[in-house]
Amino acid sequence: MESLQAEAPHASRHTLTAPKITFLGAGSAVFARQLITDILHIDGLDEGAFALVDIDERRLDLARSIAERLVALSGKQWTVTASTERREVMAGSDFLVNTIEVAGLANVRYDYEIPLKYGVDQCIGDTIGPGGIFKALRTGPAWLDILHDAERLCPRALVLNYTNPMSILTLAALTQTSMATVGLCHSVQGTSKQLADYLDIPYAELEWRCAGINHNAWFTELRHHGEDMYPRLRERAREAALYERDPVRFEVMLHFGAFVTESSGHFSEYVPYFRKRPELIERYCRAGYLGESGFYANNWPRWRELSDIYIQAMLDGAQDIPQERSHEYGSYIIEAMTLHRPTVIYGNVRNTGLIDNLPDGCVEVACLVDRNGVQPTHFGRLPEQLAALNRSHMAVHALMVDALRLRDREAARYALLLDPLTAAVASPAEISALFDEMWEAERASLGYFE
């Protein structure tokens, strides 16, 4: 495997009194609606431009209509433009928000059903494992094309990536383009709130340190007024009612010593312990996001339809339009950079010595954000057992970036051979056959590699 290229430094920033924010994949209108709502909540940021891009004209029109309604409700002086052709609207963007979905509807059943034939049982399957690897193969080429356009049209823009597989796509951006990019998730802030609830303490009083990789970041410290909260959390985890709310994560904490940022169901796919035999799935996995087999594949197409219905109901007046600012980091980054209000977020960035015992790759750490952009902070060493779990996935990420960079199908095959859950279930020959079967089923979406 060739070494990764050097990351380009962040461009210097200046005061932006009326920023231009371009949403790529804006047809996922519920998510775009929330981020636009968040941005319009920024006190003192009273004007700017939203540019919405999606290749689906119907969904783009929904996104444009709800964006215009939100601006009208805010009373602020923001403009809204929309286009199915990104090059028409990207020029001059200060921020690019990426939420694209590439060929998901056409392949979501393949991502779940073909691996299941080989014993690989996925709950979500869009970030790691067979489903995540093939989503990266479908999404990565379009993602890099977008960023190469950005290099020409808005080279000073900060890219906020929300699309999964987070670590693979963000690492590709950081190593294969010159665009300043940060990957954003809500797992750190969401899990920290859950932990405060589990510990029955006010969220504002919970202190923590957290680092790792996306969906595999670790709360290495939990404190309340300086007191270590892990003894209390371990004691509470033995209460059946609480344990049932997060069984896989509590098991991992009890045996590995730290609580992880991703939900029990999704995290059960990241490690080889919980989904490799039917009796283990029955013991540790529950309905829905707690580990249900095929939960994403069986529900996501309908969720997508319902999101469109939900947006249309808001436009028709049959549904109230939520006005609350969310805990998504995007608007806080924009506020910090445009209005010089420093903040701290947890971002997915390149490991330039930030976590001492993890290799070069994409890591999730605390980052200071101010007028100079997103500035990752040094964490130090993770406990070795936690770093080891992270490294197994970072090797997969590096191979997938090689697959995209070199148009190398075999690098993607090696990535699947190294996936922890897949390797726990199937032999190398079976994994190779699984890979080939998925490739044939999804070939129409993999033309970049042909």
Residues 381 and 442 in one domain: yes
Q: Counting runs of H as helices and runs of E as strands, what totals does the chain give?
A: 17, 13
Q: Please state, in angstroms and rounded to a whole number, the distance separating the CA atoms of residues 182 and 260.
A: 21
Q: How far apart are the first and last CA of the chain?
A: 21
How many domains are contained in the chain? Answer: 2
Q: How much is the pLDDT for 31?
A: 84
Q: How much is the pLDDT for 28?
A: 81
- CB-hemisphere CA count at 13 Å for 117? 12
Residues 197 and 268 in one domain: yes
Residues 148 and 289 in one domain: no
> In the listed set 184, 208, 230, which residue is the last one of a domain according to the structure?
184
Is 322 part of a structural domain of the chain?
A: no
Better-scored residue on pLDDT, 29 or 82: 82
- Which domain range does residue 385 map to? 108-125+185-293+328-450
Q: What are the residue numbers of the active site?
A: 186
Q: How much is the pLDDT for 30?
A: 75
Query: What is the mean predicted confidence (pLDDT) over 329-335?
Result: 98
Tokens coding 242: 């609480």
Q: How much is the pLDDT for 29?
A: 65
Give, for 158, the enclosing helix (H) or strand (E).
Answer: strand 158-161
Summarize pLDDT for 268-300 with one digit per residue, the tens.
Answer: 999 999 999 999 999 999 999 999 999 999 999
At what angle are helices 57-74 and 29-40 packed, to 10 degrees?
20
CB 270 within 8 A of CB 128: yes
Q: Please state, in angstroms and rounded to a whole number, the distance separating the CA atoms of residues 167 and 144.
A: 14
Residues 211 and 279 in one domain: yes
Q: Please state, in angstroms and rounded to a whole number, the distance separating the CA atoms of residues 133 and 438.
A: 11
Residue 330's nearest CA partner among 9, 15, 41, 11 is 41
Tell whether pTM > 0.85.
yes
Q: Kindly report the CATH number assigned to the domain that includes residue 75.
A: 3.40.50.720
Q: Please determine, for residue 16, whether its predicted confidence score (pLDDT) is greater than 90.
A: no
Lowest-pLDDT range, 23-32, 177-186, 327-336? 23-32
